[in-house]
Structure 1
Amino acid sequence: MRHALLFLLALCVVPMARAGIVDAPAADLDISLMTYGPGDIYWERFGHDALEIRDRVSGEAIAFNYGVFDFDQKGFILNFARGIMAYRMDAETTQSDVEFYAGEGRYVHRQHLSLDIAQKDALRRFMLWNIRPENAGYHYDYYTDNCTTRVRDALDTALGGALGRQLGSWGGDMTYREHTSRLMSNQTWLMLGMDLGLGPYADQPMTAWKEAFLPMELEAELRRVRIGNGATERPLVDGEEILATGQLLPPPFEAPDLRWPLLIAGLLLAIPLALPAFTRHREARFTFVIAGTLFSVFAGVAGLFMIGLWAFTLHRSAWGNFNLLAYQPLAFLLIPGIWRLRRAGRPMGRFSTRIAAISFAACIIGLLLHLWPDFPQRNMPWLLFALPCWAALFATFGRRHD
């Protein structure tokens, strides 16, 4: 009798001792997508997500995510600038993740996914394989290989490609550029710098699959996805929970229209640049020198920056930037001529006039390219800023030479 009681006690203890999600029967697992809202810091503006695996019997819930990086990593800043960003997968308890993101004022949403036993088991096995130290690292890309695309791809594999087939057939609402601008709009100067540095890649036509590089977009698209066939067809998402409400100001739903602000800024800057063409007053020359130096330095530095991104980094989204027609290192060559103009009546050589003419013509070419229906880059705002400035510089140098 005693041995029988010990045997029954052992049967009760064994299930309690098993290691939760690692060896639980797949039928006991719940799979959910966790979505964390945008934060205040620039690298948090795109939001974050994770795949949660929960064992209903033991209560263990682990959130697997792909967004871990280390500022203290050797050569991190240099590699980041070159586009070599080393990220890795990590796993935390769901409770600790919810507490962390809620503590930052970011919302936390959970979407329960209606996976069958085989799909749950396949996803669990992949997550456990991927979390191994030898498999956890990967090279991060903002748009094509990030914390959300990795979650998306893992789900698609477990679903036998059903996610990719549906999202790939639906059109997207915005481009990479538009999403970047709206999400970074709370940090104006950083948003402007990123918009100036993005090339045609950021304006490519989008599908819902590509647009699901953002956690919020993946969350929204999953609501439309259906899986299974015939009598087993069902929505992928069969339940949603709000685990924490957002306390931060949400990003706008649309990207800001930069055309008018940058055109007005360009016209205002062009006024002091054009004054010496119409007057010899000392004040006009003084303001011209300041405005001309600022614009030339900005155009030259921007040109060097764009060339550097194209020639020496793996930032594909910055390659082939047509903004180089309006902002190029040639602008540095104007600075000596600008400073010579500070003395009234000093004759000017033709060199500065030719540089201004070439730059003005290049900017006009950039503007005319937008008449081509298939022109790949949406950079009109930056052309509208540069064109009045180059026109004013060309007018000033041409007039002073005469």
Structure 2
Amino acid sequence: MKNIWLLFILFPLISNSQNLKLSEKADIHILTCGPYQGELYSAFGHSAIRVKDPRKGYDILYNYGVFDFDQPNFYLNFARGHLNYKLGVTEYRNFRDYYIYYNRYIHEQVLNLSHQQKQELFDFLQWNALPENQYYLYDYFYDNCATRVRDALVMAFGDSVQFDGSYINTNYTIRGLTDLYLKQQPWGDLGIDICLGLPMDKVAAPYEYMFLPDYIEKGFNQATIVRAGKRVPLVKKTIVTYDSTLEEDQASVVTPFTLFIILLVIGSMVTYFGFRKGKLYAGFDAILFSVTGLIGWLLLLLWLATDHRAAAGNLNLLWAIPLHFPVALLLIIRKRPLFLKRYFNVIWILSILLLISWAFLPQQLHYALIPFVMLISLRAYYIQRYLSRNETA
């Protein structure tokens, strides 16, 4: 799929200058756009701000979801959690047509603002779009293209705008909210659940629900603002610009759970024939534990060496143990058998304890990993039993 953000680089407004003035006919809309399951990042939808003034001929789209692949050290910054996003400015019709092309609904909430308030918000957006102000350090859960839309109003109006979270009657964690949007993205869901740790499992406050565009729309519907000395609803009306049509489920046929069940069956067969023939099949275990260990090193680096706050305290390290990678290499060269026997004796017991406590952990581990952890336990048990029978210290 063509990268959506390139659209806003190719079709910018010619002028980002400040001091544009709105007429009495102007309106400001909050846009909520539906998900697209062709890409992981687009599965959550999108938010933006539209400034429309038919008298002045303005129809401007302010979009906080723009990033530039050409920024210095892009991939390193992405890995470290230092990725700069920016407020992009484009013509509304380009944005609208793109989302319609990909069958993503567009809802527009017309804000219930006085002329002065519209100008104040427009002034803030013009200031925010200046080159020296447009960049921000992206955080998917706390500072993203949706939260920036909400925060633009807070910055422009202060306490006169209030968001009432009493409509939230669920107790979703941040991970649970994310899972709602990834039912057609099982591999993306698995990747997020593996890479992100305990901070994802806190129960989200109503204000924190608004990291998702759908909850920006819901939150704005419940919000109020002081206008002419009276507190009034923030949203005057909602316009359905485009209503998406139902599409087929795009989820992969081979899910993580299916794959890990197959791996467990293969591992069980390797164990059975190894027991019958008195063989270890160390190559199988070297691959299994090397891959698992490398995953562990990745999780440890995400936790300790990056600014990804949600990657901290990751309990997936209870099965993706970084030491697996160097230890697995010892199986190939058959060095230090006594150490290997003791190491894998600990690993199979730890894996069994993890499986028993799975449902009670403070972090929700992905259910598809259960057969994989069973495989780790099975092979670790077989390795230590084999070495007990065939090796000496």
Question: TM-score under structure 2 normalisation?
Answer: 0.80
> Which letter does structure 2 place at the counterpart of 1:135?
N
Larger displacement relative to structure 2 (191-200 or 388-397): 388-397
Q: Deviations over 1:361-384 (max 9, x none)?
A: 433454566576xx5311162662
Residues 201-212 of structure 1: pairs in structure 2 closer than 5 A: 201-212=199-210
Aligned-partner Cα distance in 2 for 1:99–1:90: 17
Counterpart for residue 330 of structure 1: 323
Counterpart for residue 110 of structure 2: 112
> Which letter does structure 2 place at the counterpart of 1:176?
I
Report if the CA contact (8 A) 1:171-1:208 is conserved: no
> Which letter does structure 2 place at the counterpart of 1:359?
I
Residues 71-220 of structure 1: pairs in structure 2 closer than 5 A: 71-161=69-159, 165-167=163-165, 170=168, 174-220=172-218
> Which letter does structure 2 place at the counterpart of 1:360?
W
Counterpart for residue 7 of structure 2: none
Counterpart for residue 64 of structure 1: 62
Report if the CA contact (8 A) 1:293-1:335 is conserved: yes
- How far has the Cα of 1:338 moved from its partner? 4.6
Counterpart for residue 384 of structure 1: 370
1:303 aligns with 2:296: yes
List structure 1 runs of 4+ shifted beyond 6 angstroms: none
> Which letter does structure 2 place at the counterpart of 1:311?
L
Q: Which runs of 5+ in 1 are unaligned?
A: 1-18, 253-257, 342-346
> Which letter does structure 1 place at the counterpart of 2:312?
W
Report if the CA contact (8 A) 2:52-2:58 is conserved: yes
Q: Deviations over 1:17-62 (max 9, x none)?
A: xx9992124x432111012222323332222221112224234221
User: Could you say if the C-alpha distance between residues 58 and 251 of structure 1 is closer, same or farther in structure 2, counting changes exceeding 3 Å?
Assistant: farther
Q: How many equivalent pairs are there?
A: 367
1:363 aligns with 2:351: yes
Aligned-partner Cα distance in 1 for 2:265–2:176: 26
Larger displacement relative to structure 2 (273-282 or 325-334): 273-282
Aligned-partner Cα distance in 2 for 1:386–1:126: 51
Counterpart for residue 36 of structure 1: 33
Secondary structure of 1:105's match?
Answer: coil
- How far has the Cα of 1:352 moved from its partner? 2.0
Residues 205-354 of structure 1: pairs in structure 2 closer than 5 A: 205-228=203-226, 232-246=230-244, 249=247, 264=261, 267-268=264-265, 270-272=267-269, 274-275=271-272, 278-280=275-277, 288-289=281-282, 291-336=284-329, 338-339=331-332, 349-354=337-342
Report if the CA contact (8 A) 2:162-2:225 is conserved: no
Counterpart for residue 15 of structure 1: none
Q: Deviations over 1:88-142 (max 9, x none)?
A: 1111122221122222332222111212344323212211111111111111111
Aligned-partner Cα distance in 2 for 1:184–1:337: 39
Aligned-partner Cα distance in 2 for 1:335–1:215: 45
Aligned-partner Cα distance in 1 for 2:275–2:77: 50
Report if the CA contact (8 A) 1:21-1:61 is conserved: no
Aligned-partner Cα distance in 1 for 2:137–2:112: 31
- How far has the Cα of 1:145 moved from its partner? 0.8
- How far has the Cα of 1:397 moved from its partner? 2.0
Report if the CA contact (8 A) 1:228-1:234 is conserved: yes
RMSD: 3.4
Q: Which has the larger radius of gyration?
A: 1
Report if the CA contact (8 A) 1:21-1:29 is conserved: no
User: Could you say if the C-alpha distance between residues 251 and 127 of structure 1 is closer, same or farther in structure 2, counting changes exceeding 3 Å?
Assistant: farther
Secondary structure of 1:378's match?
Answer: coil
Report if the CA contact (8 A) 1:275-1:396 is conserved: no
Q: Which runs of 5+ in 2 are unaligned?
A: 1-16
Aligned-partner Cα distance in 2 for 1:251–1:317: 29
Larger helix fraction of residues? 1
Larger displacement relative to structure 2 (386-395 or 179-188): 179-188
Secondary structure of 2:158's match?
Answer: coil
Aligned-partner Cα distance in 2 for 1:380–1:43: 20
Q: Once the two structures are aligned, what percentage of the paired residues are identical?
A: 30
Report if the CA contact (8 A) 1:67-1:89 is conserved: yes
Q: Deviations over 1:210-243 (max 9, x none)?
A: 1111112211332233445999454322222222
Report if the CA contact (8 A) 2:162-2:223 is conserved: no
- How far has the Cα of 1:323 moved from its partner? 0.8
Counterpart for residue 9 of structure 2: none
> Which letter does structure 1 place at the counterpart of 2:291?
F
Aligned-partner Cα distance in 2 for 1:224–1:263: 44
Report if the CA contact (8 A) 2:18-2:126 is conserved: no
Q: Deviations over 1:293-352 (max 9, x none)?
A: 3321221111011011112111111111111111112222443465479xxxxx992222
Aligned-partner Cα distance in 2 for 1:338–1:51: 58
- How far has the Cα of 1:182 moved from its partner? 4.2
